Structure 1
């Protein structure tokens, strides 16, 4: 099976530095990399067209069957607080469409898989690339305008109706749709309306993330500059508007007065288009001595940090699922946050008392403080939920994706595999007959399903 993966969001873990203006790493990027590798290991041949930054090779083979192509038209380096660079995703789409014409001749995909985050450009990629290549597309909603997404700026609110319409169009014309949660799948089916049977729920996977030994976790945060003997309150992810960093800083400012917990250190792991603003807000609030900023960390450095935290705080405006919350909980750490999107299902099924109404900073501060002062109760709840979390967000993600692809192709894969085997067998018979007859003719390879 050949799959063309279209996404401006992809984790290049071959580097140790990541320019934030080229869209800092978040859960979506890591999940798409993980899924691509797991499918390659199961024999799915893939090309990924994604955004990259200077210094990355334009094309690289990550592993057999998985080729990563940095696909981006030239653009000036004008900073954007939403996308990193002004026009970054537009430049990606332009390059993808340009690359589609030669790709149709050299490596025609059987299926296109588009990963959409609630922005316009990825939603356009599926219908347009499908028309260029002649291959059907499936669409994953990592964040849906219909169900979860909240506009992030005045301009975003102005274009909300346009992107809303683009999502509807892309959904209707997709061969098949997947979402991260049943909640979003039900909403999409109701709002379009669409046959719910056309939507598969493919939640993110925690992969190999697990709790690490306590001493190793403590050592990891000491190396980051975190002092001993104080509660550690964490933020892990992209520093961007929708992740609610302003409320995290406001919570830190009210900690001593409201939380009921001892004075804490606030650890910010990650980078993003608004990291500079967050640092300025921390300085202006007089909290610089209480904050530690790590910047970008490789993903394999995150589990020790998650384990060392007393609580992970997620004051997001919207979260389709909340991968950081899942990773924190499988590391044994409770999560406090706003009751939005998928957090209502993930955190809400484990420590519901630590979820509060969006925008209520005082309630968030009390919830995070409760996670510290009532650590035994909340950590026991998290530990008890571990088997369910691993069963729901564990190692079967690639198997679910393969079934999703087979449904999108309508069984064509199985039929073509059989035709290919029959064709090869027929060619072998003809070749043997020719040899026995003394002919110098050649046996021709089959032209069936591409494996």
Structure 2
């Protein structure tokens, strides 16, 4: 089977640093890399057309059966605090379509797999590439405008209706559709409408993740965390939709609560609003309580999750919440807003730690409960680890993705 993977989101794990203006790495990028590698190991021949940054090779063979191409048209270095470089995804789409045209008959895919995050450009990739290559496309909704996505700015709100219409069009013409959660599949099926049985649920895989106590202890020492102090974590892209402002507001409220001692607030990751977050922390007089690591290689994230007393996820929208799953598989509870897939992942383990979106006071109380009653919440998390591993660990997503591909190709073959 040959699969052409089109996505502006892909993790290049051979680098030690990731420029923030190129949309710093997050869970979606890591998960697509992991899925691509696992599929290659199962014999699926793939080419990935994705975004890169200066210093990366334009073409590389990651492993047998997996070729990664950086496809990006030239663009000016104009920065946006919402999206990183202005026009980055548009430049990716133009470059990817040009690369599709050059494929010719040298490497013709059986299927095109597009990964969409709620933005316009990835949604356009499937129908356009299918016409150029002459192969059907399937679409994975990593974030759906119809089900989960919340506009991030005035301009985003203005174009929200347009992008929803494009998502509907792309879904209707796709040979196959998959979502990360059953909830999104249900909402999308009702919104189109379409037969719900035609939408496969293929959750992201977080791979082989588990506690790293020794590495976690070393990390706490390196970060100069006082002995016995709780560590409250924010792990991911520093961007508007991830709710970093509420994380800072929560830190300001922390000591006002009953019995709350000094805590360290750890920020792991970077993004287009990283500088703004640091300034907000300084303006609030919280610099001594915060530690910023910037971008860290994904191999170090299990140690980070193990070192945390609680992971906080104040996201405006979250389709699945891979960071939450990683934290819980490392034994760490998660407090966050009850949005999107967090209602399934965190809500199925510690529902009491999910609060209404935007309620910073309730979020602070939930995080404090996780710190002050650690045995109770950690027992719940430990009891769910085996189930989480079976649903989101290595192999589970690959099995579902292969079944999805085979069903799509079988259906298209029957139609022809």
**Does the alignment reach a TM-score above 0.5?**
yes
Distance 1:205 1:396 in 2: 7
Distance 1:24 1:242 in 2: 14
What corresponds to 1:338 in structure 2?
337
Give runs of aligned pairs for residues 72-83 of structure 1, distance below 5 A.
72-83=72-83
For 1:341, what is the secondary structure of its paired residue?
coil
Give runs of aligned pairs for residues 277-356 of structure 1, distance below 5 A.
277-356=276-355
Q: By how many angstroms is 1:261 displaced? A: 2.6
Superposed CA offset, 1:12-66 (max 9, x none): 0010010011110100000000000000000000000000000000000000010
Distance 2:343 2:291 in 1: 29
Indicate yes or no: 2:212 matched with 1:218.
no
Superposed CA offset, 1:179-207 (max 9, x none): 00000000000010011111100001120
Q: By how many angstroms is 1:80 displaced? A: 1.1
What corresponds to 1:103 in structure 2?
103
> Larger radius of gyration, structure 1 or 2?
1
Are the equivalent residues in 1 in contact too, given 2:21–2:85 (CA < 8 A)? yes
Q: By how many angstroms is 1:413 displaced? A: 8.3
Superposed CA offset, 1:117-150 (max 9, x none): 0000000000000011110000000000000000
For 1:409, what is the secondary structure of its paired residue?
helix
Q: Structure 2 regions of 5+ residues with no counterpart? A: none
Are the equivalent residues in 1 in contact too, given 2:175–2:412 (CA < 8 A)? no
Distance 1:259 1:139 in 2: 48
Q: By how many angstroms is 1:343 displaced? A: 0.4
Distance 1:284 1:343 in 2: 31
Q: By how many angstroms is 1:226 displaced? A: 3.2
Superposed CA offset, 1:247-302 (max 9, x none): 00000000000364321000000000000100000000000000000000000001
What corresponds to 2:190 in structure 1?
190
Distance 1:83 1:38 in 2: 29
Q: By how many angstroms is 1:392 displaced? A: 1.4
Distance 1:27 1:408 in 2: 26
Indicate yes or no: 2:200 matched with 1:200.
yes
Distance 1:136 1:216 in 2: 46
Are the equivalent residues in 2 in contact too, given 1:259–1:370 (CA < 8 A)? no
What corresponds to 2:391 in structure 1?
392
For 2:193, what is the secondary structure of its paired residue?
coil
Are the equivalent residues in 2 in contact too, given 1:259–1:369 (CA < 8 A)? no
For 1:159, what is the secondary structure of its paired residue?
helix
TM-score, normalised with respect to structure 1: 0.90
Distance 1:206 1:412 in 2: 30
Are the equivalent residues in 2 in contact too, given 1:83–1:89 (CA < 8 A)? no
Are the equivalent residues in 2 in contact too, given 1:216–1:304 (CA < 8 A)? yes
Q: Structure 1 regions of 5+ residues with no counterpart? A: 415-451
Are the equivalent residues in 2 in contact too, given 1:260–1:370 (CA < 8 A)? no
Are the equivalent residues in 2 in contact too, given 1:2–1:109 (CA < 8 A)? yes
Are the equivalent residues in 2 in contact too, given 1:259–1:366 (CA < 8 A)? no
Superposed CA offset, 1:318-375 (max 9, x none): 0000000000000000000000000011100111111000000000001000000000
What corresponds to 2:154 in structure 1?
154
Distance 2:51 2:316 in 1: 25
What corresponds to 2:401 in structure 1?
401
For 2:150, what is the secondary structure of its paired residue?
coil
Indicate yes or no: 2:192 matched with 1:230.
no
What corresponds to 2:251 in structure 1?
252
Distance 2:168 2:291 in 1: 42
Taking only aligned residues, the RMSD between alpha carbons, in angstroms, comes to 1.2
Distance 1:101 1:387 in 2: 45
Distance 1:178 1:34 in 2: 17
Distance 1:254 1:102 in 2: 56
Give runs of aligned pairs for residues 438-449 of structure 1, distance below 5 A.
none
Indicate yes or no: 2:27 matched with 1:9.
no
Are the equivalent residues in 1 in contact too, given 2:177–2:199 (CA < 8 A)? yes
What corresponds to 2:70 in structure 1?
70
Distance 1:89 1:259 in 2: 47
Distance 1:57 1:228 in 2: 44
Superposed CA offset, 1:69-97 (max 9, x none): 00000101110112210000000001111
For 1:345, what is the secondary structure of its paired residue?
helix
